[in-house]
Chains A and B, each alone.
Chain A
Amino acid sequence: MAHPSSTEKAETAVAFAPRPLNGAKGGEKPRKPAYVVEADKPLSSHPRELWAYRELYLLLVKRDFIAAYKQTLLGPLWFFVQPFLASLVFMVVFGQIARLPTTDLPPLVFYMSGIIAWNYFSNCLSHVSSTFLGSGGLFRKIYFPRLIVPLSQISMNFLNFVAQLLVLFAVIAYFELSGRRIDIGPKIFALPGILLAMALLALGLGCLIASATVKYRDLNIVVGYTLQLWMFGSFVIYPRSMVPDNLQWLMNLNPMASFIECYRSSLFGTEHAQTQPAIIACIITFILLVAGLWCFTRAEGTFTDSI
């Protein structure tokens, strides 16, 4: 390989007569480049790359899951106690004081099922939106497909959700034993799909916010605040039947309202999920997901540029 050994700047420039980027040069370079870094092109666009890093993804899920339990004072107990306590508070405030109806379900089951689903979504969203702020140090030193981090965060939160769902089932079993019938029918097989939809919504919206935090850092504070308010519009503490007709359209614009409705409907069959809002929710989720991933791949290449 002829190497430019000229010592003058001007000559150096000549020695590097640049070849066309994608111009084939016969048998000189039989190998394909492992990667190309180019202006205005995403750093990692190929899904195959994500697959190549699947082991890192698994290790990150494991790391975050174990670390979360190791760092809390009560350890794993906290995850089970927290939705329980919140449900009790809701039972008093919304059930006893505000006297909101809870369909045919016992208030504890109604609130608890809503709370664990909402926690799952809101934790996913807040973790994904802090991807660049939280893992920025890592991203500045090592390359790997950045999307691994939000995906592993979502998976970790899913595991937490499953643990809490088991507690919910224990509560349901208690009610069953004490003579109260709670039907869990075949609709429950739709549950994974609904949980996936929630995760995709959190991923899409989270990626959008994460990309924006690269330029405007304080956006993350807004996320925490908004999530608290958002819960009140998402059928966590009251069913759709409580909403007056002239406000139904507003609820239809909130994909999480529909997802939680579908989720309870698939678990207990007490609420009848409506098709139209569910379709609107899926369309919104899809649009947010595409936009979020597009912004994310653009942000990952330039997020170190703002000092």
Chain B
Amino acid sequence: MSVAIEAWHISKRFFLGERNQRAFFEDVAAKTMDGVRRLLRPGGGSKGNSSSRYFWALQDVSFEISHGQTLGLIGENGAGKSTLLKILSRITQPTKGAVKVYGRLASLLEVGTGFHPEFSGRDNVYLNGTMLGLSRKEVRQRFDRIVDFSGLEQFIDVPVKNYSSGMYMRLAFSVAAHLNPEIVILDEVLAVGDAVFQKKCFDRMEEIMDEGHAAILVSHTMPILQRMSQVCMWLRRGQVEMFGPSHEVVSRYEKQTTQEVVSNLEKQTAQQQDATRSEPAARLCGWEVESKLSRNPHTIISGQERVTFHFEVELGAAVPTGKIAVSIADVQGLVLSTHSSELQQSKAGKFSLGLELPLLPVRPGEYILSCAISDGTHPIAFLRAIPELTVLEDGNGDGTGYHGVLNLPAKLSIR
């Protein structure tokens, strides 16, 4: 396999703050001082970059991908993902370091840039296609496929200003999807339109990657990343936190995210309590899970049957006619399942709550458990279980991770 992209020690510095008269004179003054300093002490030290008006979006990022490989890029907002993509696609220069790109690269950071509202869909396909690096002849060859994919045959000669926003995005994605580059940079948010068209977008993205091209994929949806990319890079505050096989990086990233979500919640709860300066309405003293295969009170094995959760809750006041609900959510906050029951406690104090699940078929990862208590009409407490629930691999997999959200008990047979 030949190299597709090589990146050496890329760093990128941004300027924060306003450009105004003062900034202008400061610039001039700084440049002059710099020149004087260099005159007095030749070769002595670079610019004193103590200024807090600068911000390093990327610091010393190096990596390499080959043709046929897909690199997943993960990280919170502001971790430097977009900056990295912009440097790779030649939109901005790094402050330090260099990138070498082997082969034609198409970077789809946004679809539909450069569309002109006054022009027809047909003209815009040509305009956008040439802007993305195709020749007019190449656009002509792809034109029928593009229009076919967009499903806009009837409207192709109508000015795009008369398109609905959905139609506009569909046409734009269709152009982008037919570039046939050797290296492609994709952002997950590109999947546009209604559910049917979105499915088509994802299928097409997979096709592009299967065509043996190198790809860089940005996504916040871990199952998609695991399915589509072999290697992952996790960026954190502009630095490479981790680089390696997708399933390893993704599981570490998920664990980290869960911990941060939980600690943020703890902070919030603490602040709220400080603000009200009153006793909490309820407290979750502890929890554990009982299962056959795992000894750890906060861990289960994926794919096993029957788990029982025990929660110990302390009420600050009596709740004569209330409700209590337990929910299980994944790291992204998607609630997987909620179970509720009547709550009739005539006095304050501790009680124990049990939740028995004959089946918890989730893939390995971190999950957040929580209890919500209401007095019948208003919610009075929302309790998060600490630590989070860890679901481990069952050892039957090949270690490359699980695809999908669920890990259902199943048997596949051929007749």
Contact = CB atoms under 8 A, between A and B. Distances in A.
B97 A39 contact: yes
Interface string A151-192: 000000000000000000000000000000000000000000
A137 interface: yes
B19 A216 contact: yes
A43 B93 contact: yes
Contacts, number: 155
A70 B118 contact: yes
Contact of A144 (B66, B133, B244): B133
Interface in B92-113: 92-105, 107, 109-110, 113
Interface in A104-146: 137-144
Nearest to A304: B92
B52 to A, nearest CB: 14
Contacts of B107: 142-143
Given A1-B66, A36-B98, A7 B109 contact: no
Interface stretch (A27-35, A86-94, A194-202): A27-35
Contacts of B249: 7
Given A12-B240, A59-B130, A305-B14, A39 B92 contact: no
Given A12-B240, A37-B87, A67-B118, A59 B127 contact: yes
B126 A16 contact: no
Nearest to B97: A39
Interface in B9-66: 9, 13-16, 19, 24, 62-64, 66
Contacts of B99: 36-38
A156 B97 CA distance: 39
B231 interface: yes
B2 to A, nearest CB: 7
B197 to A, nearest CB: 21
Given A37-B90, A55-B130, A302-B93, A21 B8 contact: yes
A272 interface: no
Contact of B90 (A31, A43, A60): A43
Interface in B141-166: none
Contact of B102 (A31, A38, A63): A31
Interface in B235-271: 239-245, 248-249, 252
A101 interface: no
B113 A1 contact: no
Nearest to A68: B118
A34 B114 contact: no
A37 B127 CA distance: 26
Interface in A214-244: 215-217
Nearest to A33: B100
A75 interface: no
A287 B119 CA distance: 39
Interface in A71-94: 71
B48 to A, nearest CB: 20
B15 A3 contact: no
B196 interface: no
Tier of interface size on chain A: 35 or more
A301 interface: yes
Nearest to A13: B62
Given A31-B2, A38-B94, A143 B89 contact: yes
A18 B62 CA distance: 8
Contact of B101 (A7, A21, A35): A35
B95 A39 contact: yes
A137 B64 CA distance: 29
Contacts of B123: 63
B15 A55 contact: no
Contact of B94 (A29, A37, A53): A37
Contact of A34 (B8, B93, B102, B130): B102
Given A34-B103, A39-B98, A56-B131, A143 B91 contact: yes
B14 A307 contact: yes
Interface in A1-46: 1, 3-9, 12-13, 16, 18, 21, 29, 31-41, 43-44
A58 to B, nearest CB: 9
B88 interface: yes
B132 interface: yes
Contacts of B88: 37
A149 to B, nearest CB: 11
Contact of B63 (A16, A39, A59): A16
Given A141-B110, A305-B14, A63 B119 contact: yes
Given A5-B245, A12-B240, A71-B118, A55 B135 contact: yes
Contacts of A144: 131, 133
11 contacts: A4-B64, A7-B243, A9-B239, A34-B105, A38-B98, A138-B113, A142-B114, A143-B91, A216-B24, A301-B93, A304-B92
Interface of B: 1-3, 8-9, 13-16, 19, 24, 62-64, 66, 69, 86-105, 107, 109-110, 113-114, 116, 118-119, 123, 126-127, 130-133, 135-136, 231, 239-245, 248-249, 252
**Lowest 7 A-B CB distances belong to which pairs?**
A301-B93, A38-B98, A143-B90, A141-B113, A16-B62, A33-B100, A37-B99
